[in-house]
Structure 1
Amino acid sequence: MNILLSNDDGVNAPGINRLREALITVGDVITVAPDQDCSGASNSLTLRNPLRLTQHAEHVYSVNGTPTDCVHLGLGLYAHDPDMVISGINAGANMGDDVLYSGTVAAAMEGRFLGYPALAVSLAAVGRGAVSHFDTAAKVVLQLLPQVQAYPDSSQMILNINVPDVPWEQLRGFCVTRLGNRHRSEPVIRAHDPRGRDIFWIGPPGDAADAGEGTDFHAVQAGYVSITPLHADLTRHSALAATARWLETCHVAA
């Protein structure tokens, strides 16, 4: 299996390196990741500055750009198409509304846009503090890889995987979930630099609001690996008819 591996935490992040070590035991892996932390980059592309590819080791590269940039450049390194794109292991959850901002999910989604099945893998804290059980998340990926070809319409596959930050033996199983929702984020934090000028920090994300049974939040807190199928079509199909009726009452004309 030929795998293009990327992330948003950067080429030196422990998650991507642990996953690469696991994946090279079962396939041929090319790693292309940002040269710095690009968390929150979402699906952004670098369009106004040149991109540079830097080799760090055999089949390991960094790019001075976003996770989405990395997927585009990574595909250019293949003489033949890869079998899939994997993004991660992210140091922290990507659940609920997080997927709108996540560079981890964006790299996987770009792989899907370009025609390849894709996984986004994140290690989700079950309490406060930094995550550490990257081996658990790597083993989850190895368990799932042999089943990818059996996925219905695998060319359309984007699976968002969140793994509880616990030892492998403490996982309770695997669970298919939907995205939950968070409360609105905390307000912007205002501070001052050493010269007294205003600086601002984006506030932290809100706590889970919709975290009931069936959501990714609920599964992870219960000790299960959450697997959420995603798609790139943002159309709210259930609202098409109502929107058409609304437009008819607006009496607008081109």
Structure 2
Amino acid sequence: MATDRPVILVTNDDGIAAPGIFNLVEAVKELGDVVVVAPDSPQSGMGHAITIGHPLRLYKADIFGDIPAWQCSGTPVDCVKLARDKILHRKPDICVSGINHGANYSINVIYSGTMSAAMEAAIEGIPSIGFSLLDFNYDADFTVARNVATTITRRVLEQKMPAHTLLNVNIPIVQPHEFKGMKVCRQAYAKWKEEFDHRVDPRGKDYYWMTGKFVNMDEGHDTDVEALAKNYASIVPVKFDLTDMQMKAMLEEQWKDMS
């Protein structure tokens, strides 16, 4: 690979054969030297899981033309760790994850393998972006999402963002003429209200299938949910330091007799 071009690590959680990752490669391949390391099977909802109970496998995957690619038997986070240590032997200049089939806004960022892969890279000091399209369909139209991915990735590279930069980008289901643009937002206070449907299998054994609906409890106009509803792509800066600083200050004051 050329040494005067940025190295771009591409990963995802839908698996190396998912249409989303092909579209992400297309979106960023002119911006630098791309290397793909992705799971060999779908890993949605894995969050920040890592593999510790059995060996990891890593195989070359010749499916992106002349772009080097590997498929990994582990989680999205495993992919980033192996890419850094065994394939690149260095930190890439940026890590982009996705394009995920389905939303990762609001509380979904906690469960998302797409965002956890990007977060792992950010923990390692690599500016990172997770991209998600709100369309779950395998044959989703990624036209708008590709343009968004190109624009934001180029901006992060050109502006040389801080090492621990982590952006969560979601793209609405719109045609190009309906797309309003991009907005920097905060994460909405919204969550899935789950229910578990009780069923019985053909052998008479009970099992449960998770269902539910998404509930937005946030009336703010500066949230990712609001932006997406108005046909904007949402950009939410995310931190992996989960310290509640307001609570910390309160406890330091109220519990100072404990120190």
The alignment's TM-score, normalised by the length of structure 2, stands at: 0.88
Mapped contact 1:71–1:111 kept (Cα < 8 A): yes
User: Could you tell me which amino acid in structure 2 is paired with residue 171 of structure 1?
Assistant: F
- State the distance in 2 between where 1:59 and 1:73 align: 14
- State the distance in 2 between where 1:206 and 1:81 align: 37
Match of 2:108 in 1: 98
Q: Is residue 119 of structure 2 the alignment partner of residue 119 of structure 1? A: no
Mapped contact 2:192–2:212 kept (Cα < 8 A): no
Match of 2:46 in 1: 41
Residue 190 to residue 103, structure 1, CA distance change in 2 (3 Å): same
Mapped contact 1:91–1:131 kept (Cα < 8 A): no
Mapped contact 2:94–2:157 kept (Cα < 8 A): no
SS at match of 1:43: coil
One of 150, 154, 159 as aligned partner of 2:162: 154
SS at match of 1:30: strand
- State the distance in 1 between where 2:139 and 2:170 align: 12
* Identity fraction in percent: 35
User: Could you tell me which amino acid in structure 2 is paired with residue 91 of structure 1?
Assistant: H
- State the distance in 1 between where 2:212 and 2:18 align: 22
Match of 2:214 in 1: 206
1:91-240 correspondence to structure 2 within 5 Å? 91-125=101-135, 132-149=140-157, 151=159, 153-210=161-218, 212-240=220-248
Mapped contact 2:10–2:34 kept (Cα < 8 A): yes
Q: Deviations over 1:60-93 (max 9, x none)?
A: 2211111000101112211443111000000111
SS at match of 2:61: strand
User: Could you tell me which amino acid in structure 1 is paired with residue 45 of structure 2?
Assistant: G
SS at match of 1:29: strand
- State the distance in 2 between where 1:184 and 1:22 align: 31
Residue 193 to residue 83, structure 1, CA distance change in 2 (3 Å): same
Q: How many residues align?
A: 249
Q: Deviations over 1:83-122 (max 9, x none)?
A: 1100000011101000010111100000001110000000
User: Could you tell me which amino acid in structure 1 is paired with residue 119 of structure 2?
Assistant: M
1:173 Cα offset (Å) = 1.2
Mapped contact 2:193–2:213 kept (Cα < 8 A): yes
One of 70, 78, 84 as aligned partner of 1:61: 70
The alignment's TM-score, normalised by the length of structure 1, stands at: 0.90
Residue 233 to residue 144, structure 1, CA distance change in 2 (3 Å): same
Q: Deviations over 1:195-228 (max 9, x none)?
A: 1111122333532222531000000110111000
Structure 1: unaligned runs, 5 residues or longer: none
- State the distance in 2 between where 1:25 and 1:209 align: 41
- State the distance in 1 between where 2:166 and 2:196 align: 32
1:153 Cα offset (Å) = 4.6
SS at match of 1:199: strand
Match of 1:4 in 2: 9
SS at match of 1:115: coil
SS at match of 1:206: strand
- State the distance in 2 between where 1:247 and 1:203 align: 42
